[in-house]
Structure 1
Amino acid sequence: MISAPDLLRALRPLHVWVGPTGHVRQVGKSFAKLGIDDPTGQRFLEVFEVQRPKKPSKMADLRGLAGQVLRLRVRAEPGLGLRGLLIEDQTDGVILDLSFGMAVVDAVQRYGLTAQDFAPSDLVMELLFLQEAKSSAMAASFSLNSRLNGARLAAETEALTDGLTGLHNRRGLDGALERLGQSDTEYAILQMDLDRFKQVNDTLGHGVGDAVLKRVAGVLRAHTRQDDLLVRAGGDEFVIVCPGLTDTARLNALAGGLIRDISEPLMIEGQDVAIGASIGIAVSQTAARRDPKTTVTFADIALYAAKRSGRGQHLFWSPDMGNSLVELDLPVPTSRGA
């Protein structure tokens, strides 16, 4: 009769089995391809950081998340994000069945994964086939009028992705706005610039600046929903498109959390780095369901109003701000992030 550990290895190549003391008892065979040292025997929470739905600090907290889907990352590989269903193993331990979620196609290319690295019943098998065949079905297309799913987001091509942060780029934003304008979905758009980023880039170098941008991308991912579109529009400019979210209280909480976490001091390459963020928000209801590109303009106006009011804060667009930066009595900027 096959043992439970061998059964797990055979069926779930990306599982993690954690014992009652919080130490990793076993990992799936595909972990070796991810460039991660074998974590067997190490404390799970020292190897992995659970980002959602909440951050456990001990094994009891982790067991309390049983039955939920977690979003987590490997501490030694911050760019490696994972999703996993947590279940109890009936011996006060837990088993986490992992996947790459929306980033599966990037993971396949980055780590050289094959069909043997996934469970035979996994939907990713179909995605791998499409990727190998270079099917036209892999064209960038998704609908912001319904809940986005992992298979459709995995079909996004590199042409829509910012190479540094892994977020969407301006081209990806333009396509999403076009599709959004053809739907009946209400939405909010957040325009965000980093405060004092130019000084960091100029004084500490582009290497530190790139590290800051990657960290900001991580903060955005940690605070947003699966169906929000995250965009690095260029330089230190970011855009968040939130389909179905127009509640002022929730948007206040989102913007406030982003500004708080981005403003936390950090150490990069031995250098103390301190930046901030300013955010402008426009919602489609406020914008009278105008063309989404107009809503982006309104969010931009609110952003500059926030900067002029002292930075490190967020403002909603309101009609008294006008329909252009000229009406706001601001010169059209040539650069941001100062």
Structure 2
Amino acid sequence: MLPRDTLDVLCPLHLQIAPDGMVRHLGPTLIKLQEGAVAQGRPFTDVFEVFRPRRVHDLAGLLDLAGRKLQLRLHSGQGMTLRGLVIPDGTGGAILNLSFGIGVVDAVRHHGLTSTDFAVTDLAIDMLYLVEAKSAAMEASRTLNRRLQGAMREAEHRAITDTLTGLQNRRAMDHTLQRLLRNEERFAVLHVDLDFFKQVNDTRGHAAGDQVLQAVARVMLDLTRKDDIVARVGGDEFIILLVGLVDRPRLSVLAERLISRIEQPISIDGADCSISASIGISVHLPDVAGAQAGNQLLEQSDQALYLAKRSGRAQHAFYEPWELRNAP
């Protein structure tokens, strides 16, 4: 029989069984799998259970399976399943050489095994390198995909967002407007233009003007619903699409609330900036004959805004063809 040191090198995952069925010696890797459990000097059936090709209860039964592939389960080490081959040792005992089979990856991770725990000719370590390389490549690919998807989402967000106010921009508003028209939704268009905003830029500078626009955006978001669309479409011009809201009294109340809130002084660097707003409103009713197209709705809200401006500003007006025709 080979010396133990030689067996430990050639078969680090092996078990020597004495003629009386007691464990004589364990290879260094098998000792790791025992996780501190004492095996030497105990019956081999206390260390593992052979369940294929049949159950084994003693050394004679184990030797009857010499040269055949065995499947066995360790009683310690979380019941790990191993593959094995048993051969007589020439003294009445047996040597059982073991391997992990397809469970090698889990074994390495769970027990912290390294290449020194395998025979130098064992192809398992080469497979482990391939598995680790594949895992690293897949993780790098997943990381790259996450970054690309994040960059795409960020680019898409920037493409539809006004960078100063965080509101949607003209492109996003046009897209939503066309969708509402295709779906024959009922909605209102509010065209909001700030009054006296140019004076803020002229007297306080563009930085102050930017802060005013940001404050106005917050007011609009605060007074509208989650599904409403609020967009900045020009320097001090905004469009609000109110989905499902076409009742004129309710639209008037909202317009007046917007004007009242926007008129509240905005403190910038310790000084107040005062502006107001004029609002023009058009309504889309797809079930009414002569329903408008998108550009018509925007033009109508613009005409109503012009009427509100001509009427003294800080007001709102609905699109009414006969009123516009008779406007001074």
| TM-score (normalised: structure 2) | 0.52
2:234 corresponds to: 234
Q: Quick one: distance in 2 between partners of 1:238 and 1:169?
A: 9
Superposition CA RMSD, Å: 2.7
Q: How far apart, CA to CA, are the structure 2 residues paired with 1:287 and 1:244? A: 18
Q: 1:156-186: CA deviations, max 9, x gaps?
A: 5210100000001111112112222211111
Once the two structures are superposed, residues 33-77 of structure 1 have per-residue CA deviations (whole angstroms, 9 ceiling, x without a partner) of xxxxxxxxxxxxxxxxxxxxxxxxxxxxxxxxxxxxxxxxxxxxx
* Counterpart for residue 189 of structure 2: 189
Q: What does 1:10-25 correspond to in 2, within 5 Å? A: none
Matched, 1:284 2:284: yes
Q: Aligned partners of 2:221 and 2:145: how far apart in 1?
A: 27
Residue 71 of structure 1 is matched in structure 2 by: none
Question: AA paired with 2:321?
Answer: P
Q: Does 1:273 align with 2:288?
A: no
Q: Give secondary structure in 1 for the equivalent of 2:233.
A: strand
CA contact (8 A) 2:246 2:283 kept: yes
Unmatched 5+ stretches in structure 1: 1-127, 139-153, 331-338
Q: Which has the higher helix share?
A: 2
Shift of the alpha carbon at 1:249? 1.7
Q: Percent identity?
A: 46
Work out the CA distance in 1 between the residues paired with 2:165 and 2:145: 25
Deviations 1:175-215 (A, max 9, x none): 11222221111110000000000011111101110000000
Give the counterpart letter for 1:302 in structure 2.
Answer: A
Q: CA deviation at 1:134?
A: 1.9
Distance in 1 separating the partners of 2:144 and 2:174: 28
Q: Which residue of 1 aligns with 2:157?
A: 157
What is the TM-score with the length of structure 1 in the denominator?
0.50
Any stretches of 5+ residues in structure 2 without a counterpart? 1-142
Once residues 316 and 183 of structure 2 are traced to their aligned partners in structure 1, the CA distance between those partners, rounded to angstroms, is: 27
In 1, Cα distance between the equivalents of 2:299 and 2:319?
Answer: 10
Is the CA contact 1:197–1:236 (under 8 Å) kept in the aligned structure 2? yes
**What residue in structure 1 maps to residue 322 of structure 2?**
320
Distance 1:208 1:155, change over 3 A: closer
Look up the SS of the partner of 1:234 in the other structure.
coil
Give the match for residue 301 of structure 1: 303
Deviations 1:61-120 (A, max 9, x none): xxxxxxxxxxxxxxxxxxxxxxxxxxxxxxxxxxxxxxxxxxxxxxxxxxxxxxxxxxxx
Contact 2:189/2:282 (<8 A) preserved:
yes
- CA distance 1:164–1:253, shift in 2 (3 Å): same
Residue 288 of structure 1: how far off its partner (Å): 3.9
How many angstroms apart in 1 are the aligned matches of 2:326 and 2:183? Answer: 30
Q: Are residues 133 and 194 of structure 1, via their aligned partners in 2, closer, same or farther at CA, if it must alter by over 3 Å?
A: same
Letter in 2 for 1:297: E
The Cα of 1:133 is off from its aligned counterpart by 4.4
Compared with structure 1, are the counterparts of its residues 287 and 203 closer, same or farther at alpha carbon in structure 2 (3 Å cutoff)? farther
